[in-house]
Structure 1
Amino acid sequence: MDSPDEDAWHRVVVGAGVAGVCCAEELARLRPSDRVTLVAADDALKAVTNVERVTRNLETFDVQNRPHSALAYPNLAVVRGVVEACDPGESTLVVRPFDSNSTAANTTETIAYDQLCVCVGAEPRRALDPCDRSADPHGVYDEAAVAVRDTESVEDLRERLGEGARTVVLVGNGGIAMELVQALCWDEEPGAEGGAEGGAEGGADDDAPTLVWLCRHPAIGDAFFDRDAAEFLADAVRSRTTAAGGVPSGVPSGVPSGVPSGVPSGSSSTTTTNDDDANDGEHKRRRVRRGTGSRGGAAGPDWTRRLHRNQSSKGRRFRLRVRTDASLTRVERAGPRGGADDSNRTRGPYVAVLGDGERIEMDVLVSAVGVDPAPRVRWLPEGSFPRGADGGVAVDRAFRTMGPHGHDVYAAGDCASCELREGGRSGGAAAVPWFQMRLWSQARTSGTFVARVMCGECDDDAWGFNYELFVHSTSFFGARCVFLGLYNGQLLDDVDEKDVTTYSRRGDGSFARVLLVRGVMRGAVLIGDVESAETFENLILDGIDLSRFGPTLLDPEVDIDDYFD
């Protein structure tokens, strides 16, 4: 890059996920005469493409893996490395660069900044407490477990499945867990070709490997679905699996086996593609050595597609066994199973010990129990940058960090803790029906918004539609799903139950549910038929008293729009 203007600002963004790339590109676009540096721990970045607006607040977009060279702004440079320290008093970062083989250099370099935005994401949580030695008496947890979050862990899981795993134990009840169930036990689309004989949707043959799903809640999909929605999904899954000639073993009543795509992990309001599929030999992510302290790029909403990229796992469907109200308490090493294949094993087998004493012999343990932003931001001194209750960097409503350096240091995406933004600015609970979930859609919005704040284009008094309303769109088993506002009563703990009314409607392949507080719509869930999304979004934002409509709000024969033209 040419020598910068003396008056040019230097803005540094750390992290090349969706939030970081959106922030860096928006900074470069808004201030073409200033320098922007993106510090990336991975050799590829997450690019947002094909953005389409569905409603005023809801968008769909594609997420692609792109090489650094895809960044088209001449004032935007990429530094490949990992940040090890920050001196906010001197406005400097200490970065350890990587070479072309993803090996950390022996020396570090110092980068000075005028403004800094931290977008380093979050770490997957472990299924067992690492400080509890009794939970891992043989010291095999790290050998047995895969915590799906970044591209490296997905590749690790793909390799283990390709080694002929017969039993996989899955711990978690969020979107990552549900996505894995769908990927391993069912085809992506109804009637897709190439599935297991008898139907991929749970109709695995008698010799099929087994996926044991451990959920600590009484119902699956607890992060997204109330009992009505869960029962609808369970019926839909049962009807499809019955038609396919088999039912997944252990699917209880009221339990959906589908999944919103990319939940915190993420869930995403995206339609995704992956350049790795189209150009398998070009700018593929290199796996960074674990000892370097690097943090690889997030796996992406389409991460399950990579599990079938080797022929040994493609078309291989697992038989599903579900254990609800179950907890994992210990992982042990098991004795050899015996048999010809054991001579080729490089791992396991292992034993998962449950809270009720059941012992399950397994080849792989998959941990999908949420994320923790704290490990990713250890290089930020906590005395200068206070943390939120979830361990993320505490930010205000404009994503400025709390503490003495908020004027020049910001945080966005999964590493930010947005507690002050949740519920809005005026008195009362949830004045604004928005709350934080670590989703791809929120990463894009926060990255773009914080760049505008850094450039003086926005502030917390002029935030526009970005945070008026929680919106999320995804799909499971081919059914579209839209979540609006406080759809499950989030942030309404201080509201008297008698002031809360819900209406639900089940149709032919569709489900709708709305939540009202004192007659005002505050949230909605739509599954299957989502044509009413824009109408319900407007009703939530307008705050109109809808008491007189009652259940007719969901009557397909009544066009609610006609009343508000």
Structure 2
Amino acid sequence: MAHKKEKTFQFVIVGGGIAGVTCVEQLLSQIPSADVALITASPHIKAVTNYKQVSKTLEKFDVEERPSSVLEEKFPSLTVIHSAVKSLHTQAHSVETADGLVFGYEKLCICSGSRPKLLIYDNPYVLGIRDTDSAQAFQKCLSKAKRIVIVGNGGIALELVYEVEGCEVIWAVKDKAIGNTFFDAGAAEFLIPSLEADKTESTASCKRPRYTTEEPAPGASQTADKNLQGHDSGPTEFGSALGPDWHEGIVFRGAEQVSRRVTMEYQCEVEKLFTSEELLNSPQQTLKPENGQSWPVYIQLTNGKTFGCDFVVSATGVVPNTEPFLHGNNFELADDGGLQVDDHMMTTEPDVYAAGDVCTACWEHSPLWQQMRLWTQARQMGWYAGRCMAAYVLSEPIELDFCFELFSHITKFFNYKVVLLGKFNGQGLGPNHELLVRCTKGQEYVKVVLSGGKMVGAVLIGETDLEETFENLILNQMDLTMYGEELLNPNIDIEDYFD
């Protein structure tokens, strides 16, 4: 198996997404002469732009696709290798690419991201949205569609439901409320009216910080290709995940004149999919096509309802993309399938680091932090992995980065600014925590999670301007018992108390 190595690099980074690119930039800013190779299957890399540190832990940025030459111009000692990885040999310290070349490394960082967890693989009527190509495929299919079913309850599902126009949407959610990855039922109730309202024209100008889901370019109505899933032949072929603004400038419009029609189906999952032929031949005559109309595909939900539709969008989360790296090596995996990493982003194989969606943080977490596979964390982990690799070479000590002290995320849902801090959903707190909520319909929703009289989490929807104050209160772990309900009294300027 020992192929001749083309070349051995000091550092090899696999993956041109946010984690990989940030790792490369961090390494080369610390050791400018380092001999670094970035192996990426896509000709484009994902770059962080318009980066803004909003507060101690909150950050905002856009993600843009750029040609990889941009990186090579910036860092003369960087080599970009355009190929997928076929296999990794940790004992030989080498990586083999799909075109049969073998590269040696002294230190390797795997930043291969994640891929969509599809309901059903290889079904032409099931579309997963994860990368730019799949978003374009979706746009094409949608332009001819009258009704689609969206399955899932994470960020991409939330944004799609809001952005799709001219098409009936059935939204199947396995939980009691929408967006439960991000919100509780109260926040969901606050947001639901936005689905009924017509979208205002102003939405176009709003930039979405972080991962998002937006609209197809005008005139993008070429016929849907025979295979909706684009080139999803195997896990190695995915492009990088979508940027925070993936729906900017795309108009997601179906074939109907309606503006937005969303039907919610709660607490249900997908039982099975049928084609119209299978349906006609099915023994259960209850599944007869509605009013004589026939749809390309039918989806039966666990609540007993069956809907015909043009296609199904699977937005049910992601799976770490460990595929080509495991064979013949001894990586320890976490329960969610990610590569286990310690507090220096090192995997269980020597000299191999990992960052972003592909890895699972297996150090003892700060009580206020949790891993969620988000843009923010891909950037933070890539940056920190680059620092750890450089520190090793420079023999410098390194501490776990401050960004892992407190979970924080800014995004936009239904055109509202959304800030999530700490254990914003009471994650892992058990029954002994309390919630304070303040809600002004159509304007803002503020929820605070208290445990033992201290603030441990918050959800802020709308322009609340409370994020810095709440971040401080969470980080300082100040006892707030004496304030009680007054903490959220809108007539008290809370900043005056806690500066």
Question: Considering the TM-score relative to the shorter chain, is it more than 0.5?
Answer: yes
Q: Which amino acid aligns with 1:41?
A: A
Q: Are 1:26 and 2:26 matched, yes or no?
A: yes
Change (3 A) 1:84 1:117: same
Provide the rounded CA distance (Å) in 2 between the counterparts of 1:528 and 1:212. Answer: 26
RMSD: 3.2
Match of 1:232 in 2: 190
**SS state at 1:270 partner:** coil
Change (3 A) 1:361 1:315: closer
**What is the percent sequence identity of the aligned residues?**
35
- Structure 1 residues 53-102: Cα deviation after superposition (integer angstroms, max 9, x where no partner): 111111111111100111111111211101011111110000024xxxxx
Q: Which amino acid aligns with 1:270?
A: R
Give, in angstroms, the shift of residue 515 of structure 1. 1.0
Matches within 5 A, 1:204-219: 209-219=167-177
Match of 1:501 in 2: 434
Provide the rounded CA distance (Å) in 2 between the counterparts of 1:222 and 1:418. Answer: 22
Q: Are 1:488 and 2:425 matched, yes or no?
A: yes
Q: Are 1:478 and 2:415 matched, yes or no?
A: yes
Match of 1:301 in 2: 244
Q: Which amino acid aligns with 1:154?
A: A
Does the aligned pair in 1 maintain the 2:87–2:325 contact within 8 Å? yes
Q: Are 1:358 and 2:305 matched, yes or no?
A: yes
Give, in angstroms, the shift of residue 532 of structure 1. 1.1
Match of 1:537 among 462, 465, 471: 471
Does the aligned pair in 2 maintain the 1:150–1:299 contact within 8 Å? yes
Match of 1:170 in 2: 150
- Structure 1 residues 507-561: Cα deviation after superposition (integer angstroms, max 9, x where no partner): 3611111111111110111111331100110111111111111111112222333
- Structure 1 residues 334-381: Cα deviation after superposition (integer angstroms, max 9, x where no partner): 1499xxxxxxxxx971111222433222211110111111x4434234
Match of 1:392 in 2: 338
Q: Are 1:401 and 2:337 matched, yes or no?
A: no
**SS state at 1:304 partner:** coil
Does the aligned pair in 1 maintain the 2:268–2:301 contact within 8 Å? yes
Provide the rounded CA distance (Å) in 2 between the counterparts of 1:527 and 1:65. Answer: 29
Unaligned runs of 5+ in 1: 1-5, 98-107, 131-140, 186-207, 245-257, 263-267, 281-286, 338-346, 425-429
Match of 1:85 in 2: 87
Match of 2:178 in 1: 220
Match of 2:267 in 1: 325
Give, in angstroms, the shift of residue 221 of structure 1. 1.2
Does the aligned pair in 2 maintain the 1:213–1:321 contact within 8 Å? yes
Provide the rounded CA distance (Å) in 1 between the counterparts of 2:396 and 2:428. Answer: 24
Change (3 A) 1:60 1:451: same
Matches within 5 A, 1:182-261: 182-185=162-165, 209-235=167-193, 237-238=195-196, 240=197
Q: Which amino acid aligns with 1:479?
A: Y
Q: Which amino acid aligns with 1:369?
A: T
Matches within 5 A, 1:337-376: 349-373=296-320, 375-376=321-322
Does the aligned pair in 1 maintain the 2:145–2:255 contact within 8 Å? no
Match of 2:389 among 454, 463, 474: 454
Q: Are 1:435 and 2:376 matched, yes or no?
A: no
Provide the rounded CA distance (Å) in 2 between the counterparts of 1:165 and 1:444. Answer: 36
Give, in angstroms, the shift of residue 390 of structure 1. 0.2
Matches within 5 A, 1:542-557: 542-557=476-491
Unaligned runs of 5+ in 2: 1-6, 221-229, 280-293
Provide the rounded CA distance (Å) in 1 between the counterparts of 2:362 and 2:374. Answer: 16
Match of 2:104 among 102, 112, 118: 112
Change (3 A) 1:277 1:356: closer
Match of 1:105 in 2: none
TM (normalized to structure 2)?
A: 0.84
Match of 2:493 in 1: 559
**SS state at 2:124 partner:** helix
Give, in angstroms, the shift of residue 480 of structure 1. 1.0
Does the aligned pair in 2 maintain the 1:25–1:76 contact within 8 Å? no
Does the aligned pair in 2 maintain the 1:61–1:271 contact within 8 Å? no
Provide the rounded CA distance (Å) in 2 between the counterparts of 1:409 and 1:53. Answer: 30
Match of 1:427 in 2: none
Provide the rounded CA distance (Å) in 1 between the counterparts of 2:217 and 2:76. Answer: 28
Match of 2:276 in 1: 334
Change (3 A) 1:27 1:161: same
Match of 1:520 in 2: 454
Matches within 5 A, 1:51-66: 51-66=51-66
Give, in angstroms, the shift of residue 463 of structure 1. 2.4
Does the aligned pair in 2 maintain the 1:87–1:93 contact within 8 Å? yes
Give, in angstroms, the shift of residue 272 of structure 1. 8.2
Change (3 A) 1:459 1:355: farther
Give, in angstroms, the shift of residue 307 of structure 1. 4.6
Give, in angstroms, the shift of residue 269 of structure 1. 4.4
**SS state at 1:360 partner:** strand
